[in-house]
Structure 1
């Protein structure tokens, strides 16, 4: 795995620290997926779970879209992968789904997150709401939540990757 990760500065201001840790965890997920084939990335390698590395990346694209576009910016941004027929569709990549497409979609949502938060203060409140959080959320809370979300799923990714080819990491 060759994806570069940069640890956040230990003496940065709060905003830089939060953005640094979020980027570190984004890079960690990409690092866990590096060097694998589409088939390996679609492999649910810890039965009976149907969780796969590609599914995690697609899920994080949905999570980025939800919190930074729908919730923080109040955009009307529909789902990417899920719907009524498959409420967990992001976790179910099919034979035609590719890493290239999943990665590009994820990166597009990360870029939208950066655009939507540029110039915003950490205390700024969301314009939209999340179904599980009916009150407005501060940008600080969203950043903290996203770091937690990535950290948890990076633990899953580590186990999935180890099961696929034995590669471990920190």
Structure 2
């Protein structure tokens, strides 16, 4: 089961969540479209290390963590996190075309892997709970966490893009 077409009404909660996720991913594409490596790596407000490129790397890391490591139970290392240093994903977002290419290729590759995980879920799987004591201990919680992260960071991307060239990517 793949993500429903944008024009098709969702038939269940899983389809609805996947539609929102697809829309948020597309929003990141729009908000970063046409920017140079220097613009993508431009920091927001000192001392913050937040940048469009840093957020793309973070979103790749975030989807990888939730869909590959958590739902698929893979023991792969964290993406862009060096020795537990979570800020590395942002500090490493430098104005270099190779870094830009890697970030977007990795983000898109992780999306494809995440979609494979989601393709194997049934709407009833959302109710699966692996740890009732964990704040994010069910499949539904993971999906909502990912949508939450994207929504929050799309707002950051609006502000970053507007500071770069006056556009918000919409």
Which range, TM-score by smaller chain? Answer: 0.7 to 0.9
Unmatched tracts of structure 2, length 5 or more: none
Structure 2 Cα separation of the partners of residues 71 and 85 of structure 1: 17
Question: Residues 29 and 133 from structure 1, CA distance in 2 versus in 1: closer, same or farther, beyond 3 angstroms?
Answer: farther
Q: 2: CA distance between counterparts of 1:143 and 1:135?
A: 10
- TM-score w.r.t. length of structure 2: 0.83
* Residue 65 (structure 1) shift: 0.4
Deviations 1:1-51 (A, max 9, x none): xxxxxx945832222211110010011011110000011101103223110
- Pairs aligned (count): 160
Moved more, 77-86 or 48-57: 77-86
On the 8 A contact 2:41/2:54 being kept in 1, the answer is yes
Q: 1: distance between equivalents of 2:123 and 2:137? A: 13
Cα offsets for 1:99-123 (capped at 9, x unmatched): 2211000001001101122121244
Larger proportion of helix:
2
In the other structure, the counterpart of 2:105 is 104
Alpha-carbon deviation of 1:156?
0.3
TM-score under structure 1 length normalisation: 0.83
Q: Which residue of 2 aligns with 1:158?
A: 158
* RMSD (Å), alpha carbons: 2.4
Bigger relative contact order (CA 8 A; separation at least 6): 2
Using the alignment, how far apart are the partners of 1:21 and 1:134 within structure 2?
22
- 1:59 is displaced (CA, Å) by 0.2
What residue is the counterpart of 1:15 in the other structure? 14
- 3-state SS, counterpart of residue 116 of structure 1: helix
Map of 1:137 onto structure 2 = 138
Counterpart in the other structure of 1:78: 77
2:111 aligned with 1:113: no
